[in-house]
Structure 1
Amino acid sequence: MTSTAKTPLPPAACATALDPTAEPFYLQVLQALDAAGVPYVVGGAFALAGLTGVERPTKDLDLFVRRADFDRLDAVLGDAGLRSELTFPHWLGKVYKGAFFIDFIFASANGLNPVDDGWFERAGRATILGHPVRTMSAEDMLWSKAFIMERERYDGADVAHVLRGCGAALDWHHLMDRAGPHWRVLLSHLVLFGYVYPDERDRIPAWVMHELLRKLHDEMLAPPPASGRIQGTLLSREQYLADLRHGAGDARLKPAGTMSAEEIAAWTAAIGEPHEK
């Protein structure tokens, strides 16, 4: 039986609710970065609304930047009278003005998926507060949210909405390459998409499912790797601490992962802090 092709759902105008009292601060930062030539991509609730039509209030603005650009960014904003900080060096910085802040995100909180040139090449265009900006691509939005599976926050619904809104136009070859050894995470979201939206499961190309299921079949026939590491810490920094205490290796830790023991310790110690994302 041949499935019926579906066209992409029309995105909503990028008009997710921003705190009007914070708008001068947001605009000041955007203008300062653009004047200094510091590249950024707008993500978060603003970009999600443009890609999926799902609008929700947001307490801040998420700007994705290269880690290597943070020192220059810090200097630019300091010259503008703003206070910035390198909150967690492996993935997050912030800039403050009174009670308001903007997040500068360099990578996923698990250390994967660093911002690189491709983020800017794939970016879309939109306008915030009358200011033109680049916005996160559907591919980068999907993959940056795919690993967020904390007990208190699970972004699977956002992933499903991106798949529903953009599945027909996604660069699936890029997404498969991006998944790499983490292809099971991608497969898990695609399987759930067919459960969430059974009438629209053909938004996922059949060849993608066939390829991932072939990988699963081949893996089932091979012996387990016996690495001693668990990969659950890539999905949740808190829910697999018991495994680490019982001697399991942490897949985030270098050289297998991208984080140092000090970075992991600092990120773990911050569990429950009100400023965390």
Structure 2
Amino acid sequence: MDAHDCRSKVILTKKQEDFYKDVLAALRLNNFDFLLGGTLAYSHYTGVKRHTKDLDIFVRPHDFDKILLVLNEKGFEVEKTFPHWLGKIYRGKQFIDVIYRSANGDCEVDDGWFDNSVEGTCLGLKVMITPPEEMIWSKAAIMEKERFDGADVNHIIKAIGTNLNWDRLVERFGPRWRVLFAHCVLFGFVYPSERDCIPDWVMEHFQKLLQQELQEEEKPNDNVCYGPILSRAQYLTDVNRWGYRDARKELKMLTQRDINLWTSAIPDVECYDQCESSPRSSV
């Protein structure tokens, strides 16, 4: 097998291989644009070898419904698992995730994903792989109690930080620059001898933004909690009991219906909303 094939860096069963090949071939036969992401893309950039339970493909929003419809017509079982970001393609117990943006409503797939994608090989097929900048962008905001993708971000930066397009990456985060800054600070803690993987100007840029914030006379007073952008579960108390407004709704990232559906899928959701009042109001 080609050493550069993504297959050489992950652990797949024969059933997974056959299923993935069939779906990828069907997508190409019907001229759908897609990018390979998830564990296969992560392993491509970092060399970290992992088991994977599924395959992630990223598509433009306007192709999402079309892809599921066509593959269903080809005999695959499909579902719109969470219509605001995720669908699935099944064969028995095997499945593929079809993604057009992040679960929090951010990181929508656009032409920039495709324009900066990287050519690779998967299961003997030529494929385009999700850009590393977009991988960091989407992984940086995954901070659930049961899943934190900070280590993945660190491994990508360590592996190819000097080759990343940092201008693009900083631009992707925009007003949510603190999230990227936080990961950059943690990277320096995790890898003190690898700090030059992040250009000096990036850290200086964030420090300048932080200094500008500190000098502002008026502080934000809109009572919006941005925590749900990072974790759908761990800030339920803030929104449901402490009077904070959910940033996902305020910024029109998700509708209330999307939020309700995504929240209802949290395992043991009642465990995350037990506090009766905000500690700020307690004396």
Asked if these proteins are the same fold (TM beyond 0.5), I'd say: yes
What does 1:232-243 correspond to in 2, within 5 Å? 232-243=227-238
1:215 aligned partner: 209
Q: TM-score, normalised by structure 1?
A: 0.92
Identity of aligned residues (%): 47
1:230 aligned partner: 225
CA distance in 1, matches of 2:55, 2:90: 11
Which of 89, 92, 103 aligns to 2:86? It is 92
Report the AA paired with residue 253 of structure 2: T
Q: Which runs of 4+ in 1 moved over 4 A?
A: none
Report the AA paired with residue 230 of structure 1: C
Task: Describe the superposition over 1:113-154 as per-residue Cα deviations: whole angstroms up to 9, x where unpaired.
Answer: 100111111111111111111111110111110000000000
Q: Is the 8 A contact 2:4 2:121 kept in 1?
A: no
Report the AA paired with residue 245 of structure 1: N
| SS at 1:168 equivalent | helix
Structure 2: segments with no counterpart, 5+ residues: 269-283
| SS at 1:224 equivalent | coil
1:109 aligned partner: 103
- 43-52 or 69-78: bigger deviation: 69-78
Matched, 1:268 2:268: no
Which of 115, 125, 132 aligns to 1:121? It is 115
Instruction: Answer 1 or 2: higher relative contact order, Cα 8 Å, separation at least 6.
Output: 1
Structure 1: segments with no counterpart, 5+ residues: 1-10
CA drift of 1:38 comes to 0.9
Matched, 1:31 2:29: no
2:275 aligned partner: none
CA drift of 1:12 comes to 7.0
Task: Describe the superposition over 1:174-227 as per-residue Cα deviations: whole angstroms up to 9, x where unpaired.
Answer: 111111000000000000000000001111100110001100111112232111
| SS at 2:253 equivalent | coil
1:67 aligned partner: 61
Q: TM-score, normalised by structure 2?
A: 0.90
1:131 aligned partner: 125
How many residues align? The count is 262
CA distance in 2, matches of 1:58, 1:229: 37
2:252 aligned partner: 257
Report the AA paired with residue 228 of structure 2: T
| SS at 1:48 equivalent | helix
1:245 aligned partner: 240
Report the AA paired with residue 248 of structure 1: Y
RMSD: 1.4
CA drift of 1:83 comes to 1.4
Q: Is the 8 A contact 1:19 1:59 kept in 2?
A: no
- 225-234 or 152-161: bigger deviation: 225-234
Point out the structure with the larger helix share.
Answer: 2
| SS at 1:28 equivalent | helix
CA distance in 2, matches of 1:59, 1:211: 39
CA drift of 1:13 comes to 5.4
